[in-house]
Structure 1
């Protein structure tokens, strides 16, 4: 009886953790990305995307929207990382500052007709902005690696086991996406071979940050047994990550995602399995108690 009481005391503060809790500033920074994307969308609708000599407002639109989604997704799961207040503050403010610079470089430079990543015949100012942007991109990866590691600690797992397992797979996918981003920089562009496009791998990796935690969160609220919830979360995550790895290899070979090959079949199979596993969770009735269950 005393043991149950002790467990209840430990679990109550953990179950009180909510999405976005304590991350108002990071959320606002993410919403800024949508605002800037909206401005870019209006410009493209009125004047078109290209800006002479080497800018493109369409790229600024997609970048700002993508970074905004990424920041909002990060803000949603940050409370479950089990980081101490000081660690979360360090990560939060570091990412806010890095994101603000990224918005500035991507938006302003494209409006000036300059590619912020690959400057061609730009001024000294443009070269400086581009070099700082490259450093910022590297720091975004390193700080997020620090953030991702927190979800592999036992303390994070004990807070919300099912959800954190899903987040762990998402973190692996995000790291693959960051590697694809570095690949784009080293490759001086997104194209590999005749049909390979690294940006597909880059984008799908980041979308795991929305898809996999969502499946885990939904499974945590269903009437699935403990073993079944574990199975569906792992199946969804493993299939998604394997799909990304196969897609990366397909891209490395210079082949397009729709080019017929054994790898293309494997990529489709992996993502279909991941999608089907997630759909299976949606079909299961919600736990009548309406509260998350632990694995």
Structure 2
């Protein structure tokens, strides 16, 4: 394991720890769990970004990309994750919304920084996704399917996140601030489910590699799991369409 990988994994663990710490803050301080201003955001974003950073660091070790390029992309990804979670956590402590908040110049700067950071995430993860399809990933039976499907579904999650931000910004700019905050709700299940396929599916393939089952059997199980995950994503997408 390279020094960059160790640092990035450490950052991922710290982000997860930050989310768990804020879960404790919520338990002590209370307040609403849902809504644009709540402790839910530093909790869920800390744990989610940390877990995704760790997952991507591990999963990209199966990709056929140059070590130097991978290290650079992972380093930028880690910095971006820190910026995203840091901005969200800062606004939670200030008791103001982290996204779509244009009330003051400072809040606007934070919101725009988070939006730009989201764009950087899309670019970085798209590069990894393309690399997974350009050359077959290495690893045990079914890992290639798990990695490719994980990244493909992850892109759906990123697209849904971009759609939430875009719709919210339009509503905010046209003077519908409260509507902007509530407009993201229908897409949140799709966004949440899609983001973690890149962790769940490769972990399944790795766990199966520890069994005595034959490679064809393990590959079929991974394929079935991918199908189930796609059904869940489609279901979340249909729910979003009918609740918008």
Per the shorter chain, which TM-score range? 0.7 to 0.9
**Cα offset, 1:215, TM superposition:** 2.1
1:73 is the counterpart of 2:55: yes
Name the SS for the 1:113 alignment partner.
Answer: coil
Describe the superposition over 1:196-242 as per-residue Cα deviations: whole angstroms up to 9, x where unpaired.
73211111112322321122223334343443333222222133123
Match among 169, 188, 208 for residue 197 of structure 2: 208
Whether 2:99 is the aligned partner of 1:110: answer no
Q: Which structure 1 residue ranges, 5 or more long, are not aligned? A: 1-17, 256-295
Q: How much does 1:107 deviate?
A: 0.5
Cα distance in 1 for residues equivalent to 2:134 and 2:140: 12
CA distance in 2, matches of 1:87, 1:236: 31
| CA–CA separation in structure 2 for the residues paired with 1:192 and 1:235 | 34
- 1:136 Cα deviation (Å)? 0.5
Worse-matched range after superposition: 140-149 or 57-66: 57-66
Match of 1:48 in 2: 30
**Which of 125, 133, 136 is equivalent to 1:152?**
133
Question: What is the Cα-based RMSD across aligned positions, in Å?
Answer: 2.6
Paired residue for 1:176, among 147, 156, 164?
A: 156
Shift in alpha-carbon separation, 1:131–1:219, aligned structure 2, 3 A:
same
The 3 A distance-change label for structure 1 pair 230 and 35 is: closer
Correspondent of 2:206 among 217, 220, 245: 217
Where structure 2 has 5 or more consecutive residues not aligned to the other structure, the ranges are 169-179
Please give the alpha-carbon distance, in whole angstroms, between the structure 1 residues aligned to 2:107 and 2:80: 18
Question: Aligned match of 1:163 in 111, 136, 143?
Answer: 143
Residue 120 (structure 1) shift: 4.4
Partner of 1:88: 70
Instruction: Kindly indicate whether residue 113 of structure 2 is the aligned counterpart of residue 135 of structure 1.
Output: no
Aligned residues: 231
Q: What TM-score comes out, normalization by structure 1 length?
A: 0.70
User: 1:252 aligns to what?
Assistant: 241
Identify the range of structure 1 (172-181 vs 243-252) with the bigger mean alpha-carbon deviation. 243-252
Structure with the largest fraction of helix:
2
Larger Rg: 1
- Specify which structure has the bigger relative contact order, considering alpha-carbon pairs within 8 angstroms and separated by 6 or more residues: 2
Q: Secondary structure at the match of 1:234?
A: helix
> Shift in Å at residue 151 of structure 1?
1.7
The answer to whether the 8 A contact 1:21-1:79 is kept is no
Q: For 2:216 and 2:24, how far apart are their aligned partners in 1?
A: 50
CA contact (8 A) 1:56 1:110 kept: yes
Are 1:145 and 1:175, in contact at CA under 8 Å, matched by a contact in 2? Answer: yes
Residue of 210, 222, 227 corresponding to 1:233? 222
User: Are the aligned partners of 2:141 and 2:219 in contact in 1 as well (CA < 8 Å)?
Assistant: no
1:23 CA drift (Å): 1.6
1:101 has 2:91 as partner: no
TM-score by length of 2: 0.83
- Contact kept, 8 Å, 2:9 with 2:57, in 1: the verdict is yes
